[in-house]
Amino acid sequence: MKKDQKKLVEAHLVLSDGTIFTGEMVGAVPEGGLVSGEVVFNTVLSGYQEVITDPSYAGQIITFTYPHIGNYGVNAEDNESSAPFCRGIVVRDLARRHSNWRANQGLDEMLKSRGISGIAGVDTRRLTRHIRNLGAMPGAFGDVGIEKLKLAASKEPGTDNIDLVKTVTCDEIYNVASTGGTRKIVAYDFGVKSTILRHLSKLGEIIVVPAGTSSEVVLDMKPDGVFLSNGPGDPAPLDYVRENIKSILGKVPVFGICLGHQLLAETLGAEIFKLPFGHHGGNHPVKNLKTGIVEITSQNHNYCVAEGSIKDAEVTHINLNDGTIAGINCLNVPAFSVQYHPEAGPGPHDSSYLFEQFENLLGRAG
């Protein structure tokens, strides 16, 4: 056996409907020999490290549709959180060697060091088509045998009606120093990404607070604005967050993205529904209804705002793939939100102007 080769351990991925995929184990050895979670797919061509370390994937197994993953390695600078929260990854071909001047580690090595298990050699095209046809569903993978995996998949609750934000939010308040602006912004951490904080820090000092921080504590900080971050899972159990948003609206400007967008909309009375297989990727076309410009956006969510369910807000953006609401602007209070990631990380930078829009809103309110 050559030095750069290793013995492969045959494994299987079993979905809750009984569909079976064959591959081999990569990354960390899972506790109990298997991993379970809600199986989704992501269509990015690069940026696998940012995807894996995005807290919004808590409770989920990420399938990468691009066939070659890991070819440029990983580095500490591109992590979107201090620790990954995804359950595992599924890939077609995990690169045996990486080549990039920024890399200080291989992807398989990173998976092992971070305790993330994966399954490679899977027919990810077949798996993606299956999820597109039937919707995201629970699944389990490992080397413990198909029957045990079937049982684990059938018992996996998925992400519906589960408060996953509590598993990813920070434990205590912390500050991010300004890198240019003079504003003070409080950012609710529902699973905030590092790249978002870097963008916000250009506007001023950022005070990051845990998801359960009361509106009284936030308003006592006398912020110029409040940011509602991205985060994982179903917004339905997050009543405590919506109560705080309700108390903040109208007192300071508010900007929300992804889960923060859904929570703002719900606070205004909107209905939320679950998409069949979600929007996960770096190439979703979104139309700005005010300018007519089409932006290519980075997206990662499973839930969406129902059309026609918001009374006190106008729709500003729509997803051109399926016509779903991708942005709103409140009519009676200074607040707006989008259902995608203007900070990219990974993805295109077409929507970075939204941070400037937030800055302008802070200026008008001040």
Residues annotated as part of the active site: 258, 341, 343
Q: How far is CA 343 from CA 55, 147, 258, 354, in A?
A: 15, 42, 12, 9
Q: Closest Cα to residue 287, out of 340, 358, 231, 228?
A: 340
Name every residue whose Cβ is closer than 8 Å to that of residue 194 and which is 6 or more positions away in sequence: 79, 80, 81, 345
Show the tokens assigned to 154. Answer: 């059938």
Return d(Cα 282, Cα 131) in angstroms, integer: 18
Pairing of the two strands 204-210 and 254-257: unpaired
**Residues in the chain, total:** 366
Return d(Cα 87, Cα 119) in angstroms, integer: 12
Dihedral pair phi/psi, residue 232, rounded to 5°: -90, 155
Quickly list DSSP for 132-165: HHH--EEEEEESS-HHHHHHHHHH---STT---H
Name every residue whose Cβ is closer than 8 Å to that of residue 102 and which is 6 or more positions away in sequence: 72, 73, 75, 77
DSSP letter assigned to residue 192:
-
Half-sphere exposure of 30 (CA within 13 A, CB side): 24
152-186 CB burial, b ≥16 within 10 A, e <16: bbeebebbeebbbbeebbbeeeeebebeebebbbb
